[in-house]
Each structure stands twice: as C-alpha cells, then as structure tokens.
Structure 1
C-alpha cells in the first residue's frame, strides 16, 4: 500500500465516517475490513482511499467497474449526456436506450430478442421471474444449489446460498438441483461426463415428481457462491431436458457477461450446444459503475405480460450513454481477448503459488473471474477466518479483493477490470502470495 496524500480535514477520518454509517444504516449492510475504508477516486485499475492510500483493484466494485476506473470515453459520454438531459422515464422515446437495446439484442444470441432495462441485477432477475411465471402460468422455479440472484423478496426466495438468504418466505416455490459446484457434493468424485450424467438424471427424477416448473435460473459461473462452475455442457444437457417439457432456461449473466470469462462473451456460450437461453439477465459491468441492469428474451416471452408497465429509472439517458460508450470501448479494444490472455496467465501464476500452500484447496475460474478456495490445512473444512485474514493482509499490501463461497465465505474472489495488464496481474499475484504466506497458509 502506498500513501499519496493526507486525508482531507473537511471529510474527517474513515473511523468517524464508519461511526456515522453505523448510526444510520442497517446492521446487515456488510462492509469489508475491520477498519473499513472510504474510496474517493480511481484511475485505470487503481483506487485511492480518503487517507491517500493507493490500491490495485482486483474486485472492481463487485465486478461493476468492468473496463477501468475513470475511463475517459465513459466519463465524456456521461458528462455530455448530463448537459443535455439526464432522465425522462420510459414514457417517452429514448434514443440512447433504443441504441443500446439494439446492440444488446444482437449480441445476446437470442432470436427475435427484446430488451428491458432495469437499474440492477436484482431487478433484472425479478423481471425474468415475472416473465417466466406469467408465460408458464406457474410459480414453481428450479434453481441451483449455492446460487445467488439478488436481495429482493423474490430473488432471495430462489437463492441457494443460506448466507445470503435471510428468509424462507417467498411468493415462489423453489426446487434446488445439483450441478453448480463441481468439486463438492455427492457427484464430486465423478469425471466430467459422469458428473453431467448424474446431474441430468437427478433433474429428470425431480421433474418426474412435481408439476412442470416455469423455469430453471442458473449462473453459468456462480458469483457470490465463490466462482464455482459445472463442466462445460451441463446447462446444454439441462436445456434439452427442460425444452422437452416446455420449461424455460434463464441464464443469470449479471457477473459472467460481457467477456469476463475470456473464452466467451456470455457465460451460457460454454453450454450453448442446444441454443441460447430463453431469457438472459445482465447488469454489473455494462455500465462501468453506472446503474444498469436488464433482461433479454425472445419476443414471445417478453411480450406475454397483459398489463401496462414502465420503468422510472431503467434505461434512463445518462446510464444508457455510459453503457453505449463502455460497450464500444470493450469491443473495440478486445477486452474479452485480454481477459482470456491476462486471466490465463494470472490463474496459472496463482495455481503455482497455491501448490506450495496446504491451506489452498483450489484455484478455479476463467478469464478474469478467479476464485481461491481456502481450507484449514490438512482438512477439507472451509476456513472463513483464514479468508478474512488474507483479505485484510492483501489490503495492507495494497490489493483489494473480494470473498464469497457457499461454505462459510472461504473463497477469495478476484475480478479486476478487463483492461488489466500483465504487469498489474503479476503485481497483484505477488501481493496475494505475501498475504497468503503471512497468514500461515
């Protein structure tokens, strides 16, 4: 960690700000670090806190700063749009919204696609659930174990990670299926083909006992769950079973979309042998920090609602301007390819480090979406205290990372902006190695 400036007296200390935070915000509003930090500005892959400390950012505001901090192209687009009109709602024609919808519809791979914009991934998944249940006339949803889909009442009701599901009450009936976690659970010892076959057999058996559900919702790579993923082809095999019964497939691309996995533009494309999903949700990185979420579905599904609706803030002009500029930059600079190249190097570097540390169970991921699962040395038992200690040590060393996992939050989550350089990847890996070693892994 480097210090570039003294804290501004006008703002006060981070400790004082945290005291104010605790006095007016919910106790369940999670913050990182024993001594939380206030980030005041960023540039490229770096951010600075109110104390003047500089950090290499390997988490990007929970995968939202997808391209770079203070990207000039996005900053300019936002500023110019703010000088014209910021917001009008969807009750009026909105050129930036139509422009971005046209581009996303084409990129989605869904035929005859329609796009609806929201302000977050939670709201996008809510909308997808509304569409699926209305289209299928069923409130029964299939979801993956260890999954996370948002913080609203409906999305909490289908989340398969108890650490992020504060209530069992739900307007939906949710059934959880196997397959989201490759290296834990009853099928972990099977090879990939056997794993897929067992998960498909489990799904078929489940469907034989219940009325046909509306949809299966699944993250191609589980985000909050610790960047876990099934073998390629699992969801293609699932889709075949679902399609025979008219059940929809919703791909939750809130964290995996826009080339982050390197190999594909969308996470579903690793499972696309039987065609695209019926519904795709997105958010996080498309706005590069601006609040954009959305749903893509084929027209038949999107248009199934028989009542009026609007979005007050979804698709507002200023966020659409940011999304258009960010998407253009991402495509023109081949950030998907950069994620594949630099992410591949980073994963191999981290695996070499992990091979020397008994407390690291697995390094997994694709592109710039990497998880390091920690366990108590000599066991297969999750070590959330160890993960918390590494998080603190990495911050002290000048690196910001995340954490997650379905087994007591014992996975370090690494998801830098997609413009990460090889030198920055090596710098981050070196800091992380020191953090792991200093906490006796």
Structure 2
C-alpha cells in the first residue's frame, strides 16, 4: 500500500470508493491519455466519470481558465457576471426549451436537487415519479429518488417516490416484448400508477441510465410517457448529466431520441460541459423556473472561471463536431467491442450509443450478474494500459466505456484490443 493510499484511508470515509487493488494517483493528462505517479501511461476510456468530455489538457480550455483566473476568480450570483450570462444564453438556445431560463450549480447532484425543488414548488406536490435502476445524485433528496439500491444508502426521504418501468430494455417483466409492445406496457403501467396517486410533481428520467450500466428504453418511450404526463399536469425532468452535449452521437441531448412532442419541461446537465471544471445546471421554462417565492442565490454556481471553461469547451465541441465524432468513432468502437466479446461466455450484452457503451457480464450459462468478473476485467484492462469504469443495477457487473469525445479511430481500435484481451484473461 502506498503512503498516499494510507493517508487517504486515515482521513476519508469508508464509503469513498477507490478503483483497483492498488489505487492510482493520476498526475497529468494529454488528449485521451493520462499518466500515474509511477510514470505509467493509460488510454482513458472513462474521462473522470464522463467529465473530461473533450480532451485532457485541451489548450482552449486551459487558456480560458488561466486568463479568467488572472482577472477575477469569484464574485457570486449577487453581481452581474458576463461569462455566466454568455454561457446561459448558449445553453438556453441549445436546450430546445421555449422561453428558457438557466440556473448554474456546481454538480449534477445539485442540479437535480434544484430541479426537484422547482417541480415540487410549481406543482405543490412532494410526489416524484422516477425510473427503476436510475441514479440522480448523492444528496438527501436525489438519493431518495435513485432507483438503484447500490447507490441509495437510506430509505428516509423528503419526497414520496414512486418507481416506473421502462429504463431497462433487456431485463424485467417486459424484456421479451417487441419495442412497440414494450412501450405500450410501460405506458399502461404509468397510467395505472397515476390512477393511485394524488398528483405527482414530475417524472425524472435519464434518457440513458449512466450509473445503471448505460441501459436505455426504446426510442420514443418518453414521448409516449409525455402524452400521459401532460394529461395529468405532471412535469417531465430529463436528467442529461451524462447524456448531454452530444455524447450519444445521434443527438445533442438524450431527450431528442424521444422528441416527437417537444422538449422536457426541465432539463439538468453537468459532467462534461466544463471538461473537468465543476459545472452543473438546470434549464426550465420561465413559468417553472420562476416558481420559487423566496430568495435564492448560488455562492459558487456560475463562477467566472468555470463559466469561461464552459464557454471555451462548448465552442470547441461545436466547431469540431465532436457529436459527429462520437457517432462515427463510437459506432466503430461498439462493433469492435461486440467482435472481441463474441468469444466470451461471460458477456451477456454489449450495448450503447455514441461514446456511451456498456458491457454486461454474467456468470457463464446464466443471467446472473457477475460483479467479481467486472472487477477482474477492470484490473486486467488497467494492466494493459486502459482505464474503464463499472456500473449496473445488478451489483456493478457492467463495464462502462465513455472516452473523451475527441477519440480517434486508432485509439478506439487500440482500446478495443486491450479490452478484448482483458475479457479473455479475466473471465
């Protein structure tokens, strides 16, 4: 055990997870690669949990951060903030929400927490509909709407949460149905659930469930849900913390795969917009955003430095069509991963969209999740020079693959080869 690891254990909570038997200290990065304190180089296929979205040490972002820090680092939302207004204007326009208002936070947890506050205040209800297998953050309120037991440490809650079918296509009571019948069954379940409630404030849903193992419903499910929700006056919150900014390749936002009847009432974002800087936020229609009848500010949300990073990163992402790159290179990567996984009886499914790919591992010959195999593959991939993540609603048995969106074809091929070797060595 390293000296730094010992010091970490002495001052950190037991539940603060570290990857690997011998945890890594990452010291620097460049592009799609990072280096540890021993000088080892790794191809990064997890990006600090989908947060280094564009590239490590992207010059445009580091320059913007340095220049803004040289002017003023902090002011709070009590003062006019040009970078915050400029980024809010761009986010509002990109959101698709009419008459949109934007509130910046410092994390996805805080963004979802703010969305819950807005929805419950607007509707005068503390009931929330959430998806099974979901994850929305680590605060008291967001834990209470997280439908993933591994990430929900308490049943106590300020909200009454009711869970809906549909976030996981390949497991559960409707898994064997066609996509059309799957959607019909989930809509019928939602209709039935609403018949037993007193008027929920909102449905919150990840278009692709992140911590849950990159699972997703058929395209169009949330549009079908929206028709039901609108009849009951229930808001739709799209949690885009992991799906936003073009990561899925096909769309800029995950909700657009379900977009036949327009954008959500509330949209939350975080992770990659700052390329590693702490930015989250909420976008909502003006009437919803203005529901609060008490004072509210943010001390650190909308910091001039993080807003400068967000502006530079968003500009780079759009000018270099990283959404298109996620679609093209992500499509190639998922096919390569399916090919290398084909010979492994431990692989139940390789799924995903764009550069958001999951490999679900099971005990061979069964459908039972195999978290030990996932941990072994994680270690083997590291030995081969590749960093990946873990997740899943069945005891973290899904390998999560989400490289920076600037990933090259050569790096995709290299990563798939390393991961194929790791799968066959560890399962």
Match of 2:293 among 306, 316, 327: 306
Is 2:340–2:417's contact at 8 Å kept on the other side of the alignment? no
Cα distance per residue 1:292-343 (max 9 Å; x no partner): 0000000000001001110000001000000000000000000000000000
Partner-residue secondary structure (3-state), 2:268:
strand
The whole-number CA distance in structure 1 between the counterparts of 2:383 and 2:301 is: 38
Partner-residue secondary structure (3-state), 1:273:
coil
Alignment of 1:80-229 (within 5 A): 80-229=67-216
Aligned residue pairs total: 427
Name the residue aligned to 2:247: 260
CA positional deviation for 1:85: 0.3
The whole-number CA distance in structure 2 between the counterparts of 1:219 and 1:436 is: 28
Cα distance per residue 1:383-404 (max 9 Å; x no partner): 0000000000000100000000
Partner-residue secondary structure (3-state), 1:175:
strand
Name the residue aligned to 2:329: 342
CA positional deviation for 1:353: 1.6
Residue 407 (structure 2) pairs with residue 420 (structure 1): yes
CA positional deviation for 1:189: 0.2
The whole-number CA distance in structure 1 between the counterparts of 2:205 and 2:255 is: 9
Name the residue aligned to 1:6: none
Cα distance per residue 1:87-139 (max 9 Å; x no partner): 10000000000000000000000000000000000000000000000000000
CA positional deviation for 1:356: 1.4
CA positional deviation for 1:410: 0.1
Cα distance per residue 1:4-47 (max 9 Å; x no partner): xxxxxxxxxx7110100000010000110011010000000000
Cα distance per residue 1:217-273 (max 9 Å; x no partner): 000000000000000000000000001111000000000000000000000000011
TM-score (norm 2): 1.00
Match of 2:11 among 2, 15, 24: 24
The whole-number CA distance in structure 1 between the counterparts of 2:197 and 2:243 is: 31
The whole-number CA distance in structure 2 between the counterparts of 1:207 and 1:415 is: 36
Partner-residue secondary structure (3-state), 1:42:
strand
Q: Structure 2: any 5+ residue segments left out of the alignment? A: none
List structure 1 segments (4+ residues) > 2 angstroms apart after TM superposition: none
TM-score (norm 1): 0.96
Cα distance per residue 1:371-390 (max 9 Å; x no partner): 00000111100000000000
CA positional deviation for 1:212: 1.0
The whole-number CA distance in structure 1 between the counterparts of 2:23 and 2:281 is: 31
